[in-house]
Amino acid sequence: MLNIPKSTAGSSLWPAMPRSNAALRLALLHQLETNQWRSPAEIRQLQFRQLNRLLHHVSNTVPFYRQRLHDCGLTGERAVTPEDWLRMPPLTRSNIQKAGESLISSELPPEHGKITRSSTSGSTGTPVTVASSSLNQLFWELVTLREHLWHDRDLTATMAAIRRIPKGASYPDGYKQQSWGRSVDAIFPSGPIHALEIDASVAQQAEWLTRVNPTYLRGYPTNLLSLARYFRDNGLKLPKLKQCLTFGELLHSHVREACRETWGVEIADTYSSQELGYISLQAPGHEHQLVQADFVLVEVIDSAGQPCKPGEVGRVVATSLHNLAMPLLRYEIGDFAEVGGPCPTGRGLPVLTRILGRERNMLVDREGNEYWPAFGVKSMTKIAPINQFQLAQVTVDKVEARLVPARPLSEEEAGKLIAHLSERLPGTVSVELKLMEEIPRGAGGKYEDFVNETKQRKKDG
């Protein structure tokens, strides 16, 4: 796409003469463009160069870490190596809650700007408040723009977003802003973005989308799945749609398939957290994720705390390299991921083949064995017309299949669904159907198609 920067000189449109703010962003984007093509070893070296600068700041201005750094021998007398770094114990959400203000820097460098605070959705049952700086916001915007450019989007086209919107954007109108936001607008001309609150019904969302007729559609994976099915079943079209953008939930292959079958488009997924910002972006032309190593140091570690190798699954531990306001060192997000090999695009950024979700998304049998459940969703919808579903392990021996059917199910359909699900579970676990009118979304508008409620009860107890 011919996305050309704005120019302050009417007589010189190409090359453009950018404003000073845009020039800074373009200079940073140029560095990101260079960094992504460095070798993995070079990227790792530069990450630890920045990490050591961060640790110097932390040891002098963040009370919480002084004793922690001393206890693991990271005293600042010499540069920390990747091997040294493994001695730092992971930081948990509970640690953040208990630390309170002792995690906030007493002296933020002036170039980082103002400190702002926000609270996470608390979808894990352990909400936390985090602080970040104006510089962190700038870096968030840069990665947002990098993601648009990676996927070669037409920035002047129409974007539609369906999500939880704090200021409200209710059906039938939603709200409209004239640009894609500051991440794009500071440099490039951009088209409008239309937004609708996720609380609208699927039928209302579909009607709204046909009016907006977007080129790009952004939303939660589970909601896109419901929309794709509704459009298919009702013969509706989105003639301009080129791509779907997902965030906030696990993205399963059947959601990608549904978007291809209904609209003929691919999905571009992002992985982020409110505490850390962007963690990884989907690689251009592929389905794996590339860690945003310019801004976050990501480790995937096994049960012994050692780095996982390509093909292995482990816990995600991440460090924000530039949040000097409230440094999160080796923060254990609660997610699991699979490490990948080198990216076929030639980029040296670390690869995550799959994001597997949180521990509460794992099924546990009577012997304590853990499984990542896969329930053959496409096959389920062939057995019966299911509009929405959620599977919950309610006891060690029972999974509750919460279903919102398009119509009442026959005994045969119910029996086939139970048999289909039972085949995919350990033999000691039974399935019980629970028909519902609606399955509500959780905090922040997110939705989980499988949750282990026995783990949550143990945690709460």
DSSP 91: B
**Helix 221-234 and helix 253-263: axis angle, to 10°?**
30
Residue 167 pLDDT: 67
More confident residue, 152 or 8: 152
- Do 266 and 415 sit in the same domain of this protein? no
* Ordered DSSP codes for 382-406: HHS-EEEEEEEEEETTEEEEEEEES
Maximum pairwise Cα distance, the chain: 75
Per-residue pLDDT tens over the stretch 28-48 = 999 999 999 999 999 999 999
- Do 246 and 335 sit in the same domain of this protein? yes
Give the residue numbers spanning the domain of 261: 1-6+18-153+242-359
Q: How far is CA 62 from the centre of its chain?
A: 28
In a domain, 281, yes or no: yes
- Do 328 and 392 sit in the same domain of this protein? no
Number of C-beta neighbours around residue 412 at 10 A? 10
DSSP 321: S
Q: Which two tokens stand for residue 191?
A: 């088209």
In a domain, 273, yes or no: yes
Side chain identity, residue 157: A
Side chain identity, residue 270: T
Cβ atoms of 45 and 347 within 8 Å: the answer is: no
- The DSSP bridge partners found for residue 395 are 398
- Do 262 and 340 sit in the same domain of this protein? yes
Q: Which two tokens stand for residue 114?
A: 């103002």
Per-residue pLDDT tens over the stretch 165-190 = 766 788 999 999 999 999 999 999 99
In a domain, 270, yes or no: yes
Question: Whole-prediction pTM value?
Answer: 0.82
In a domain, 215, yes or no: no
Cis ω for the linkage preceding 342 (within 30 of 0): no
Q: Which two tokens stand for residue 332?
A: 């254990």
Asked if pLDDT for residue 212 goes beyond 90, the answer is yes
Per-residue pLDDT tens over the stretch 378-400 = 678 789 888 777 888 999 899 99
Phi, psi angle pair for 279, to nearest 5°: -110, -50
Per-residue pLDDT tens over the stretch 220-279 = 888 898 899 999 999 999 999 999 999 988 898 989 999 999 999 999 999 998 899 999
Using DSSP bridges, classify how beta strands 398-405 and 386-395 pair: parallel, antiparallel or unpaired: antiparallel
- Do 349 and 368 sit in the same domain of this protein? no
Closest CA to 324 of 144, 113, 127: 113
| H-run or E-run covering 420 | helix 411-422
Closest CA to 112 of 122, 104, 121, 120: 104
More confident residue, 461 or 358: 358
- Do 325 and 373 sit in the same domain of this protein? no
Compute CA distances 146 → 28, 150, 194, 350, whole Å. 11, 6, 21, 16
Cis ω for the linkage preceding 18 (within 30 of 0): no
For tokens 């009118």, the residue is 437
DSSP 307: B
- The DSSP bridge partners found for residue 314 are 337
- Do 118 and 259 sit in the same domain of this protein? yes
Q: Which two tokens stand for residue 381?
A: 């919808």
Looking at the structure of the chain, the number of domains it has is 2
In a domain, 186, yes or no: no
- Do 296 and 397 sit in the same domain of this protein? no
- Do 412 and 340 sit in the same domain of this protein? no
Tell me, what CATH number does 37's domain have?
Answer: 3.40.50.12780
Please state, in angstroms and rounded to a whole number, the distance separating the CA atoms of residues 143 and 183.
9
Per-residue pLDDT tens over the stretch 338-374 = 999 999 999 999 999 999 876 556 678 787 766 666 6
Residue 124 pLDDT: 47
Radius of gyration of the chain (CA): 23
In a 13 Å sphere around the CA of 433, the CA atoms on its Cβ side amount to 22
Last residue of a domain, one of 310, 338, 359: 359
Last residue of a domain, one of 337, 359, 381: 359
Secondary structure percentages of the chain, helix, strand, coil, to 5? 35, 25, 40
Closest CA to 147 of 303, 231, 271: 271
Last residue of a domain, one of 359, 383, 400: 359
In a domain, 102, yes or no: yes
In a domain, 329, yes or no: yes
- Do 349 and 409 sit in the same domain of this protein? no
Closest CA to 208 of 223, 191, 186, 187: 223
In a domain, 276, yes or no: yes
Side chain identity, residue 99: A
- Do 31 and 118 sit in the same domain of this protein? yes
Please state, in angstroms and rounded to a whole number, the distance separating the CA atoms of residues 131 and 114.
10
For tokens 């049952």, the residue is 125
- Do 271 and 383 sit in the same domain of this protein? no
- The DSSP bridge partners found for residue 405 are 386
Per-residue pLDDT tens over the stretch 126-154 = 567 889 999 999 999 999 999 999 999 99
Q: Which SS3 state, helix, strand or coil, does residue 121 take? A: coil
